[in-house]
Chain A
């Protein structure tokens, strides 16, 4: 009993430390505030996969009075809950593959850049042109100029633990 309680405490404090570390990277003035526009990056870097809608909700919970800034004191409890409850779990590879396959109507095994662009900039939580350009640069096979999504998924979901 005592042991499990202790391990639960350790987990919470570790979670706090992790959140703090991520927060500090964007806390330029060392006064425990970050610009609200950086929150998305922070949350993602903590291992979560929220949608834009999820992010908006989270920010609404945490931001005070539309100052444009978020305090660590408000952020910490909310984010800790998110982490401890595994609220925005990672997307399993096979699910991602299925998603791509849905878009690849002709089941070619790859997507043309124009196809992908159409979906990403017109469907769902739309990409900006910038995001689209970067995605194509990053993901497209430069010789054949198509996106072989199967290869990508395994390569890009393995990133070092940071």
Chain B
């Protein structure tokens, strides 16, 4: 060892000289030592960075895959609603139950709050309208103390907000000449801590501190109600200084899945439904865009090549209640019957889904084309907008969103179905329905314009392509941005919608800024949040922050480890819920039934079945064991996971289906359960299950369903507690306890 010997010789050689002085090692040695330590440390950090990046990829892939599922479910709902009235003469009118008809929002539901008594014992804020500063202060104080605002005040607040929003145009125009700098915030997703931190750092909304909040106030986080109540309260207090844009999560169907509905029903058991109804109206009345000084356009998602701000200004925005309810179509336009039966014939039993391109309806692109964005970029040094204010990031960022490089034309789903390029292939559950391109009816155009604004993402390549990954909106290229900005005399597009590691990111040569304000979005320490300030000179300045829940600061190592653990858990659940398909794919490479395949084969099967673009080889050590000869023991993937409560009537295949579609089933149940009691009737359960499994093409015996229904009706009163039912299909990680102990031990050993 070169260095080792040199230490000995050099110290020996220099001993006489350095004896009298403090034992300073010779400079050359110090330098060598320093270089060694630096080298080691840099490498360690790089490894950490890699892990963090992979973790990020996992979260993003799963998130986007989940959102895509969501859209499929909704297209199913829409179709059913538009075309069927009753499934079964004897059964309940399930479809009409599925979604409330669009009732004129100006009727009813208004002054009911007056009749709601507020008990003496209620110690929370008692709002008086019109709101004053003392009311908003009371709200801030109460929410910091974990108090809940009484339903009566929530309803009144919503009603007043609705009245106010009705008067607002679709696009809000602001001017910096009357105000100081305007602060622009991105997604909050129910993170009250982030909102409070922003208010603390930047000041409460006021004439001196005007704000624009760019959508996605609710869902995912646990305090969506508090966040949105505060935002609306300030809106009512200072309508000239507080501005809100609608986001894709200000949408009652999204709320069903992503947590807002659940939060409302849990916190407001009696009046939850009314509150949700009002939220539905208020959300659809939120303005869709804000323009500052005629130069900066702020929208939640992005734009498309069809975006027309003049047209957008003129439409009736409240008519688009939900982006996930497609405008009505007639049966002729939907070629669903043919494709549906096609799929059914293609399926054998519930045990395996054929992996032919026929059923790969979710995504036709090859994995490399589906690459999602990595939340780490380097700052493009040629970008003129400054980001110097307080961006002290350990990893700088590039300005090139990762996008599909080219969308290959869809492989023809089957020889029988005509592969007409003009026909849209709308994924719906696991089948494809051919939809003729939308006709010009006003409804369709309006719907598309709004969905584009709320759901689109920027990409690096030129052009505008459908955002198949999200299931709505577009991918828009720098040329689309350029054209729109030019057309309307704008210079900058500010949008949100995507989580960025540093809280913000520039692209399209600095013409597009993404701003995201929910720190630690995926996991503690996963990302910073940020906000933008613009003054009269219209140069954006960025301010970053990160909420830390623990009192002592987590080191990067700890953060990475925690985030990684979470991500891997989520990933393993995905594996588990696709077990039979994975096994059948793997067994095709394992003719001798040894239980082993090569690493390449393993990676390939996982990639094609799960359709998540992840570095499987690198992740392999966390997911599966290697045999002594270097091959993968593929069954080891599933070893440490199991289902919750075993129900004897549930066959393994049924269990898997339930795992996979657990969230979707939950949504359906939530919709059916009108009074949100947590119970549905046995009959409704049967209906739902049959409906759902029919469209999945999963053959489940009617009798099996009946048996199951009966068995879950634990107290035999004809109703099923579906929360309990769903609990049974939650994936349990057997090693959970062990992991926890290990983590605690490691934390204890650390010198912090």
B387: shortest Cβ distance to chain A, in Å? 15
Contact mask for chain A residues 23-47; partner B; CB cutoff 8 A; 1 contact, 0 none: 0111011110001011011011100
A105 at the interface (CB under 8 A from B): yes
CB < 8 Å: which of A29, A103, A135 contacts B33? A103
B299: shortest Cβ distance to chain A, in Å? 24
**Which residues of B are found within 8 Å of A155, using beta-carbon distances?**
749-750
B528 at the interface (CB under 8 A from A): no
Query: Is A30 a contact of B460 with CB atoms below 8 Å?
Result: no
B41 at the interface (CB under 8 A from A): yes
CB < 8 Å: which of A50, A119, A124, A162 contacts B50? A162
Residue of A31, A126, A127, A148 with most chain B CB atoms under a 10 A cut-off: A127
> For chain B residues 131-177, which have a beta carbon within 8 Å of chain A?
none
A31: shortest Cβ distance to chain B, in Å? 6
Of the candidate stretches A57-65, A70-78, A79-87, A137-145, the one touching chain B is A137-145
B325 at the interface (CB under 8 A from A): no
B424 at the interface (CB under 8 A from A): no
B42 at the interface (CB under 8 A from A): yes
B555 at the interface (CB under 8 A from A): yes
6 extra A-B contacts, CB within 8 A, seeds A94-B4, A134-B45, A161-B621 = A24-B615, A31-B405, A91-B40, A103-B37, A137-B556, A151-B749
A126 to B378, CA, bound (A): 21
A137 to B617, CA, bound (A): 32
A144 to B30, CA, bound (A): 25
**Which residues of B are found within 8 Å of A142, using beta-carbon distances?**
552, 751-752
Contacts A98-B3, A124-B38 given; does A119 touch B400 at CB 8 Å: no
A1 at the interface (CB under 8 A from B): no
A137 to B45, CA, bound (A): 13
CB < 8 Å: which of A18, A50, A137 contacts B39? A50
**Which residues of A are found within 8 Å of B557, using beta-carbon distances?**
138, 156
A132 to B383, CA, bound (A): 28
B733: shortest Cβ distance to chain A, in Å? 18
B676 at the interface (CB under 8 A from A): no
CB < 8 Å: which of A17, A26, A31, A50 contacts B617? A17
Closest A-chain residue to B368, C-beta based? A30
A21 at the interface (CB under 8 A from B): yes
**Which residues of B are found within 8 Å of A91, using beta-carbon distances?**
36, 39-40
Chain A residues within 8 Å of chain B by Cβ, number: 64
A43 to B7, CA, bound (A): 28
A15 at the interface (CB under 8 A from B): no
> For chain B residues 110-147, which have a beta carbon within 8 Å of chain A?
none
B373 at the interface (CB under 8 A from A): yes
A8 at the interface (CB under 8 A from B): no
Q: Which residues of B contact A (CB under 8 A)?
A: 1, 3-4, 7, 22-25, 29-51, 53-54, 57, 368-369, 371, 373-374, 377-378, 392, 394, 396, 398, 400-405, 460-461, 552-553, 555-557, 600, 615, 617-618, 621-622, 749-752
Query: Is A51 a contact of B39 with CB atoms below 8 Å?
Result: yes
Closest B-chain residue to A43, C-beta based? B46
A98 to B34, CA, bound (A): 11
A106 to B21, CA, bound (A): 12
CB < 8 Å: which of B23, B38, B369 contacts A127? B38
A100 to B34, CA, bound (A): 8
CB < 8 Å: which of B3, B37, B392 contacts A130? B392
A96: shortest Cβ distance to chain B, in Å? 6
Query: Is B374 a contact of A120 with CB atoms below 8 Å?
Result: no
A32: shortest Cβ distance to chain B, in Å? 10
A157 to B44, CA, bound (A): 8
Contacts A40-B46, A44-B42 given; does A25 touch B25 at CB 8 Å: no
**Which residues of A are found within 8 Å of B25, using beta-carbon distances?**
102-103, 105
CB < 8 Å: which of A17, A30, A95, A125 contacts B3? A95
A38 to B615, CA, bound (A): 17
**Which residues of A are found within 8 Å of B461, using beta-carbon distances?**
29
Closest B-chain residue to A122, C-beta based? B34
A63: shortest Cβ distance to chain B, in Å? 16
Query: Is B751 a contact of A140 with CB atoms below 8 Å?
Result: yes
Closest A-chain residue to B750, C-beta based? A155
A137 to B552, CA, bound (A): 11
A132 to B382, CA, bound (A): 27
Residue of B34, B553, B557 with most chain A CB atoms under a 10 A cut-off: B34
Closest B-chain residue to A96, C-beta based? B40
**Which residues of A are found within 8 Å of B3, using beta-carbon distances?**
95, 98-99
A159 at the interface (CB under 8 A from B): yes
CB < 8 Å: which of B29, B43, B600 contacts A102? B29
**Which residues of A are found within 8 Å of B369, using beta-carbon distances?**
30
Q: Which 5 pairs from chain A and chain B are nearest by CB?
A: A44-B46, A124-B34, A141-B751, A123-B34, A124-B35
